[in-house]
Structure 1
Amino acid sequence: MTAPLTTPPLTIAFLGLGTMGGPMARHLGKAGHRLTIFNRSDARREAWMAANPGLAARVAASPAEAAQDADAVITCVGNDDDLADVVLSPNGAFTTLRPGAVFIDHTTVSARIARQIAVEGRDKEILCVDAPVSGGQSGAENGVLSIMCGGSDKAMAAARPILSAYAKRIVHVGKPGAGQTTKMVNQMCLSATIAGLSEAMRFAQAAHLDLDRVFEAISGGAAQSWQMDNRWDTMAKGEFDFGFAIDWMRKDLGLAIEEARGLGASVPTTALTDQFYADVQALGGGRQDTSALIRRLPLRGQKPA
């Protein structure tokens, strides 16, 4: 349930009404903010409006139109190119967003473009925050996302009341780009956890252990993780048609590997796990949940499913 506003309502433009952005925009509208929406796909925009008939949202024909007279612009799109298009292009949000307004990006993108946008924003006196999220679709739907932020103290002070409409945790990590590099850390940890969980489950199955009893025995100790609590049962049943897609994880890991290369950091586990995910993509699992990584580890006598 979205908390009521404790600050005056703002005029907010939300660009990108996908799996994550759609619920975030809904929470902002329910909190009492004046909402303008833009989505490049008419079908997705119309679906969002049909699903939220009680929200009075103005529809914009372009990012520039959406940003006109806005107190804040929020983006949640696909990748670096998508973000550059809706923000920095000749018809992008920065062509009309007023000085002193807030720009918040929830897309998982490179730290490079986050820093570039911050520089462009500084020149236009726009307060910029790169704010990728963790918590998945359920976290967005329930308004309990964890948000890792990069930007100035002034930008964070302006953004925090807005983010509180759909976040349970908001952490200002550091300067522009720090939010995106922290999201890379998150995805590196997550992918390695899933790889270990996949191997451990197959090991338990090969040993003919009762998986329910194994879960009961280890889920309360040091091996416990969100992935174990939320994916053990579905992995055991071979159910993967939900959740955070492997295609998206590979995009995120690619960003981490590229950033590590520039930093001179060694990330061999991340690189190896990325290749494991490529194996599952080759099996046709690109749109399946990241827990489908276990598919590349068939039991003895079975072929990869």
Structure 2
Amino acid sequence: MNLWFTEYYENDTALSIKIKKTLYSGKSKYQKIDVLESEQLGKILLLDDLIMLTEAHEFAYHEMIAHVPLFSHPEPKSVLIIGGGDGGTAREVLRHENIEKCVMCEIDDMVVKVTKEYIPSVGSQFDNPKLELLFKDGVKFIEENTNKFDIIIIDSTDPVGFAEGLFKQKFYQSVYDCLKEDGIMVAQAENPYYYADIQKDMFNNLKAVFPIVSMYLSFIPFYPSGMWAFAFASKKYKPLEKVKYDDIKKMENELKYFNSDIIKSCFSLPNFAKKVL
């Protein structure tokens, strides 16, 4: 059979991937969850019929959301991940030996269970003793904790439904309060081709709270347009100001996307993306 999965975007475009079969299909309290097996890209995780990752290319997302802040902070020891239920961000955070504790706060335990069973290459660190896994509302968790973390990573879905609150100014103020005095926050930030209006609101909300706010890019074939943005917000450190290039060199051979040249260049934006800021 000639089977294809198609994700339709809001601007009359779409992405199609040829698949072999459906490995899992279910519905949690929060969302529909599917795992497909593709012809060329390995397994695919869908949430509400949107592609969250392909096994072949997930590194372009997870390495960039984790290593940019971790190598930009002089001495990170504590990390909080909000969302990140597939486990890929935690996997990358825990490559850093200096991390003493990584807390992952994911609202939907079924995403963790499904990924751990069907895509173990991504959800490989759920049993790591440094990882504290909580199934809670990330907004409430951050509101209840202050001055706790060196790095906070917001690995969320799009700003709709239960994830909408993760893009509001009130939430970013709670993130600011939850960070230590020299903390850094990074969040997935859509893309400037298709979602410039969402980005403008997001970055305006961030700039109302943080003194240092910037955007950086990764190139991920399974996300709309192939260009994906991340928000970098810091209390103290500017992008590239404290990068630990020697430490990056030690890790580069383990990675598929991130390296010392990438961190130098990823904050370089095309003019149309600069206008978002």
Which TM class, normalised by the smaller chain length? under 0.3
TM-score (norm 2): 0.28
More strand by share: 2
Q: Which has the higher contact order (CA 8 A, sep 6+)?
A: 2
Q: Which protein shows a greater Rg?
A: 1
1 or 2, which has the higher helix percentage? 1
